[in-house]
């Protein structure tokens, strides 16, 4: 499958609500077909059957103007990693040769349904900025449409039945990708992470479970799925939890700008200068510096770099995207050279042509 | 009033009161010892650890209570055991929630911050179909096993039982029209 590099995919949009702090909002519904074992327990032929059923139901359900069906077993390693980097599939889903797929709405990539991940279906919807209600509506509608053609495993007591009991009930996970560079600079990040855990939230890095927080990007999500309705979970998260953390970050930004303006500006312009000059760039360093430059853009200190350019870089400096752009596997050294060149080129100062 | 840990003498933060044979037993433990004793979960105790703790303690209690240990008994539909669940953290099939209800209920309550029952969306077609699907899934699984074991007479009988339910022998993508497939008597009703 191919992606255009400059395609307007959802999470790169820049005009979204609360996008100074919230990069994306995401909801996910876990569903399993009745009458089958869960994916992990299903043998190859059962998985193939589940895949066929899911394919016809998803493609016939009219979920979006255009839905691409991607058979992951047919993809190269790089193509699989591209899907992970675009947050369309999990790292787990990229591994292995058992029948598995992802259905993606094209070209916006707002809807992605993983088939035969830990659960038969993982219906995921993403929105730029803080817009969980809209994301939930789309996921819920997709669920209704698929459900009108299939029986999902459900029990009146435990709700939607999932392979892991941590997802049982609504099967709903809501999450937000937050950009928290100022909290790191003021040293208050740990405090906020502890507070988030106190509010019963999971805090993860950019690429989900077990990943490091690259670029000061953090995913926070609800941990409990049982006992509260979808609306309650959503409302609590969107109207209480996320705004509270947003306020922490915004006030840290204000504190920095007012009380330590030289330090604040130095951090930002130093990051931009390195990105504009470096000849070798590791992915970790690139993400950190791009994160700081993003802070400079949303704080109106950097005015000659559009936010869209920066968001595109966050995606295109990733290893698999880089290799796809150059249509070959590259050594680590080659990647660092090409990554640095890509960034320099994208951030070129206008008067330098 | 501050207590010291009964085990190591550090300041105690966990106070356990149990009643044994009508006698009240109090214990004071520090966070660390309480964790080792399984009284509290670590601040970010991984789910698997939680499962191990709960399934194990449940298994032990159940063993005392009943002669046939439910812990060793596999789910009749998918064949997974509680020990396997404990290892992977994943259940084998939807019926596991029924098969292991006794062990799962306290674990789920713990994982879900005290919640025990679903609140929220209900699939329009759910309800009476749930049991029926479990039954068909069980028959299909038994048929599969019979064929694997080359028990063809048994397989034929199982196949006939599945056909009698009106469902295809192998699940297919052609979902039957609910109006036709589920007339009044199997209990499935239109929303």
For A159-174, what is each residue's pLDDT tens digit?
Answer: 999 999 999 999 999 9
Model pTM score: 0.76
Measure in Å the smallest separation between the Cα of B185 and chain A Cα atoms: 18
What is the structure's pLDDT at B156?
86
**Average pLDDT of B76-98?**
93
Task: Number of A to B CB contacts under 8 A, please give it.
Answer: 158
Question: In this structure, what is the dihedral angle of CA atoms A131, A135, A140, A142, given to the nearest 10 degrees?
Answer: 160
Measure in Å the smallest separation between the Cα of A326 and chain B Cα atoms: 39
Whether residues A279 and A221 fall in one domain: no
Find the length of chain B.
191
Residue A193 or residue A126, greater confidence: A126
What is the rounded CA–CA span in Å between residue A37 and residue A59? 23
| Main-chain dihedrals φ then ψ at residue A202, nearest 5 degrees | -95, 140
Whether residues A225 and A269 fall in one domain: no
Query: Using CB atoms, which residue from A32, A40, A169 is nearest to B120?
Result: A169
Q: What is the residue range of A136's domain?
A: 10-252
Residue A207 domain flag: yes
Residue A5 domain flag: no
Task: Answer whether B118 sits within 8 Å of A157, measured CB to CB.
Answer: yes
pLDDT digits (tens, 9 = 90+) for A307-326: 989 999 999 999 999 999 99
Query: Using CB atoms, which residue from A153, A166, A226 is nearest to B94?
Result: A153
Q: Using DSSP, state whether B135 is helix, strand or coil.
A: helix
pLDDT digits (tens, 9 = 90+) for B53-64: 555 555 544 444
Measure in Å the smallest separation between the Cα of B161 and chain A Cα atoms: 15
Residue A316 domain flag: yes
Query: Cα–Cα–Cα angle for A153, A238, A246, nearest 5°?
Result: 140
* A209 in reach of chain B (CB within 8 A): no
Residue A352 domain flag: no
What is the rounded CA–CA span in Å between residue B179 and residue A297? 58
Whether residues A309 and A332 fall in one domain: yes
Whether residues A210 and A176 fall in one domain: yes
- Residues 117-146 (B) with a CB less than 8 A from some CB of A: 117-127, 129-130, 133-134, 136-137, 140-141
Name the band, by pLDDT with cuts 50, 70 and 90, for residue A350. Answer: confident
Whether residues A266 and A202 fall in one domain: no
> Per the structure block, which two tokens stand in for B138?
């069980």
Residues of A in contact with B172 (CB under 8 A): 53
pLDDT digits (tens, 9 = 90+) for B138-186: 778 878 888 888 888 888 888 887 777 667 777 654 433 333 332 223 3
Measure in Å the smallest separation between the Cα of A234 and chain B Cα atoms: 12
What is the structure's pLDDT at B175?
38
- Residues 3-32 (B) with a CB less than 8 A from some CB of A: none
Instruction: Name the residue in chain B with its Cα closest to that of A234.
Output: B120
Q: Is the pLDDT assigned to residue B45 strictly greater than 70?
A: no
Where among A203, A234, A252 does a domain terminate? A252
> What is the domain-level CATH number for residue A177?
3.30.590.10
pLDDT digits (tens, 9 = 90+) for A8-56: 678 677 778 899 999 999 999 999 999 999 999 999 999 999 999 999 9
Where among A231, A252, A273 does a domain terminate? A252
Task: Answer whether B120 sits within 8 Å of A166, measured CB to CB.
Answer: no
Task: Answer whether B133 sits within 8 Å of A230, measured CB to CB.
Answer: no
Q: What percent of chain A has a predicted confidence (pLDDT) above 90?
A: 81
Residue A1 domain flag: no
Whether residues A66 and A46 fall in one domain: yes
| Main-chain dihedrals φ then ψ at residue A309, nearest 5 degrees | -60, -45
Tokens 């094209």 belong to: A106
Whether residues A24 and A122 fall in one domain: yes
Q: Over the Cα atoms of chain B, what is R_g?
A: 23
Whether residues A167 and A296 fall in one domain: no
| Main-chain dihedrals φ then ψ at residue B69, nearest 5 degrees | -70, 115
Name the band, by pLDDT with cuts 50, 70 and 90, for residue B36. Answer: low
Mean pLDDT of chain B: 69
pLDDT digits (tens, 9 = 90+) for A197-255: 888 888 887 765 555 568 889 999 998 999 999 999 999 999 999 999 999 999 999 99
Measure in Å the smallest separation between the Cα of A190 and chain B Cα atoms: 14
Residue B5 or residue A12, greater confidence: B5
Where among A252, A283, A305 does a domain terminate? A252
Residue A48 domain flag: yes
* A82 in reach of chain B (CB within 8 A): no
Whether residues A238 and A274 fall in one domain: no
What is the structure's pLDDT at B71?
55
What is the structure's pLDDT at A6?
46
Residue A2 domain flag: no
Q: What percent of chain B has a predicted confidence (pLDDT) above 70?
A: 53
Whether residues A19 and A148 fall in one domain: yes
What is the structure's pLDDT at A92?
92
Whether residues A234 and A266 fall in one domain: no
Whether residues A232 and A301 fall in one domain: no
* A197 in reach of chain B (CB within 8 A): yes
Number of domains in chain A: 2
What is the structure's pLDDT at A93?
95
Contact call for residues A224 and A237 (beta carbons, < 8 A): no
- Residues 149-188 (B) with a CB less than 8 A from some CB of A: 170-173, 175
Instruction: Name the residue in chain A with its Cα closest to that of B91.
Output: A163
What is the rounded CA–CA span in Å between residue A252 and residue A186? 7
Residue A294 domain flag: yes
């Amino acid at each position: 499958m191919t992606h255009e590099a400059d395609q307007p995919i959802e999470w790169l949009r820049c005009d979204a609500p609360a996008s100074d702090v919230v990069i994306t909002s995401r909801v996910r519904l876990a569903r399993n077909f009745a009458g089958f074992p869960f994916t992990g327990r299903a043998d190859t032929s059962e998985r193939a059957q589940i895949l066929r059923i899911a394919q016809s139901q998803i493609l016939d359900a009219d979920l979006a103007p255009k839905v691409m069906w991607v058979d992951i077993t047919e993809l190269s390693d790089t193509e699989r990693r591209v899907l992970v980097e675009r947050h369309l599939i999990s790292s787990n889903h990229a591994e292995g040769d058992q029948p598995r797929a992802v259905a993606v709405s094209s070209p916006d990539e707002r809807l992605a349904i993983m088939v035969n991940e830990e659960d038969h279906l993982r219906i995921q919807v993403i929105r730029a900025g803080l817009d969980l209600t809209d994301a939930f509506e789309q996921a819920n509608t997709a669920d209704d449409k698929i459900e009108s053609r299939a029986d999902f495993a459900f029990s009146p007591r435990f709700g939607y039945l999932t392979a892991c009991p941590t997802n049982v009930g609504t099967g709903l996970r809501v999450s937000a990708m937050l950009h928290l560079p100022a909290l790191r600079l003021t040293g208050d990040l740990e405090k906020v992470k502890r507070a988030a855990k106190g509010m019963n939230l999971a805090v993860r890095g950019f690429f989900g479970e077990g990943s490091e927080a690259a670029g000061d990007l953090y995913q926070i999500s609800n941990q409990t799925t049982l006992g509260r309705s979808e609306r309650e979970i959503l409302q609590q998260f969107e109207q209480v939890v996320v705004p509270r953390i947003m306020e922490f970050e915004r006030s840290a930004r204000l504190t920095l700008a007012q009380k330590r303006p030289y330090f604040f500006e130095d951090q930002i312009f130093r990051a931009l200068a390195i990105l504009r000059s470096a000849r070798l760039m590791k992915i970790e360093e690139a993400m950190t510096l791009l994160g700081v430059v993003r802070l400079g853009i949303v704080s109106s200190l950097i005015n000659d770099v559009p936010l869209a350019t920066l968001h595109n870089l966050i995606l295109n400096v990733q290893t698999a995207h880089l290799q796809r752009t150059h249509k070959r596997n590259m050594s680590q050294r080659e990647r660092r050279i090409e990554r640095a060149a890509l960034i320099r080129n994208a951030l070129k100062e206008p008067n330098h042509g | 009033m501050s207590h010291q840990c009964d085990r190591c003498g550090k300041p105690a933060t966990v106070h356990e009161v149990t009643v044994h044979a009508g006698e009240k037993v109090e214990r004071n433990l520090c966070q660390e010892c309480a964790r080792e004793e399984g009284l509290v979960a670590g601040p970010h105790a991984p789910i698997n650890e939680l499962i191990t703790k709960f399934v194990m303690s449940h298994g032990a209690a159940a063993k005392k209570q009943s002669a046939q240990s439910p812990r060793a008994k596999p789910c009749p539909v998918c064949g997974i055991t509680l020990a396997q669940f404990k290892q992977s953290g994943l259940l084998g099939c939807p019926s596991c929630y029924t098969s292991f209800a006794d062990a799962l209920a306290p674990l789920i309550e713990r994982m879900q911050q005290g919640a025990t029952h679903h609140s929220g969306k209900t699939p329009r077609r759910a309800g009476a179909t749930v049991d029926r699907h479990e039954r068909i899934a069980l028959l299909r699984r038994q048929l599969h096993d019979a064929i694997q074991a080359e028990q063809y007479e048994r397989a034929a009988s199982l196949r006939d039982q599945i056909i009698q339910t009106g469902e295809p022998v192998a699940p297919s993508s052609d979902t039957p029209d609910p109006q036709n497939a589920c007339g009044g008597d199997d209990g499935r009703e239109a929303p």
